[in-house]
Structure 1
């Protein structure tokens, strides 16, 4: 089972804050597994951030059969599928074409951090400043504005839910504002590692990444992530902390039914307003 599905299953067993469930082709000798949102949970049909599936299969035909089965995937909404297998896009797109959905693929280098005993020491980075702490949902707007996948109200809600549900790490300035951070997503993947431009070259990104990796491992989670091939700064950072670049790649597929035009999504997105709780519950 790959790390993405493993992370999702671990979150299911740790309170299941994103209301996930597991679908298998057979049991106990399964050949394909999909994690998805529980069907009875209310969902927003345009929210591909939350409407997310993680997949793993030993037999691509078994995975295709799951896709084609009635009610395994909600093909009437915008959603994403994440996985590590090289033929994930081809088989998923073939089924999506029969259901008139557009598929957008983004592929990343998959990364795994070493175990805690072999992680680089961070004691020299723990001065004053920086003030190392965790994020609050009141910081969600800043993260939304700085994330390459963000800048919209659906992502704002998603980030607030991640902060409320899963471990995060940030460095705050003397006014209490975050200047460097990383969060954990619904698949226990480290994501949105970012440092404000005026605070770079101070070691904050290294401190945040290693601290979050240690925090996840201390709770029994994998410390995993992904990075775009052209993100040279992050790749250099990961190499400097001896992260392992896996031979497989991380793939994110976003599916959009043809009935949802981009203009409709943009209009719907602009009209959403949310109220968030005042404090994070995930130190």
Structure 2
């Protein structure tokens, strides 16, 4: 096993390009790390420079609000061997395993059984991406609405946290504060300058937290925000992708209309892992 340092992280990011879109989650973490974005994870590989398995895990010296890890491999046997070893993952701690190919589900269950930990699938998602920003449809935005498009600030953290499905707590607050301060965001404000709709970017560089206050829905704000955000992140060189929960048909259709695509044969999931004695 090897913990990657600065130049190695750049090389690993370049190597994962050939495995997009399936490698987007790990690629996104590396993209942020390599551009000096705050990221409380470390990256380990099974070998170097010709690695077959790569894992993003919490940095023991800088613990994130959520114990989360992600990994990628095009070789399931190599990944299984790496996860079963003693160095890649501390299986004594509870984890959220994020954005993992559901095809690896049986293998993960086998590994967790050997490690004597519980695993449960939590969220099933479509991986959506925009391979070419020219596929983004042209929207007609009147001058009044255009003036309402802005970016979120730290004063808006409570508002976003209280409306986020996984927020409403201190961990959510810290995460959202980090994302707003260090990554692109877009919002639409009312006449008082307060956000009524917004979209953010996670620290793995995926678009997310798209939300419109109930009393402002039906005005096409989501389309405007997606378009604004895509243009913003393309200009900054970020990848353009997101995860949509499989039961969220409204968002799925919306992103499809905005030019995003997905591989219908590929789905990803979030898994909860906990010690069997807990």
Structure 1 residue runs without a partner (length 5+)? 261-283
| Counterpart residue number, 2:41 | 20
Provide the TM-score with structure 1 as the length reference: 0.82
Aligned to 1:161, what secondary structure does the other structure show? helix
Structure 2 Cα separation of the partners of residues 96 and 223 of structure 1 = 32
Asked if the contact 1:115–1:217 (Cα under 8 Å) also holds between the matched residues in 2, the reply is no
Q: Which stretches of structure 1, 4 residues or more, deviate above 6 A after TM superposition? A: none
Provide the TM-score with structure 2 as the length reference: 0.84
Q: How many residues align?
A: 254
* Per-residue deviation, 1:258: 4.4
Structure 2 Cα separation of the partners of residues 135 and 77 of structure 1 = 34
- Of the structure 1 ranges 77-86 and 208-217, higher mean CA displacement relative to structure 2 is found in 77-86
* Per-residue deviation, 1:191: 1.0
Structure 2 Cα separation of the partners of residues 162 and 76 of structure 1 = 29
Structure 2 residue runs without a partner (length 5+)? 1-15, 17-22
Aligned to 2:238, what secondary structure does the other structure show? coil
| 1:219 aligned onto 2:236 | yes
Aligned to 2:120, what secondary structure does the other structure show? strand
Q: Deviations over 1:10-52 (max 9, x none)?
A: 11101041133321111222211112233322x26xx43xx32
| Counterpart residue number, 2:162 | 145
Aligned to 1:87, what secondary structure does the other structure show? helix
Structure 2 Cα separation of the partners of residues 102 and 128 of structure 1 = 53
| Counterpart residue number, 1:256 | 274
Q: Deviations over 1:178-231 (max 9, x none)?
A: 111111112111111111111111111011112112222222221101112221
* Per-residue deviation, 1:137: 2.2
Structure 1 Cα separation of the partners of residues 79 and 214 of structure 2 = 43
| Counterpart residue number, 1:102 | 118
Structure 2 Cα separation of the partners of residues 116 and 142 of structure 1 = 30
Q: RMSD of the TM alignment (CA)?
A: 2.0
| Counterpart residue number, 1:185 | 202
Asked if the contact 2:37–2:182 (Cα under 8 Å) also holds between the matched residues in 1, the reply is no
Change (3 A) 1:24 1:128: same
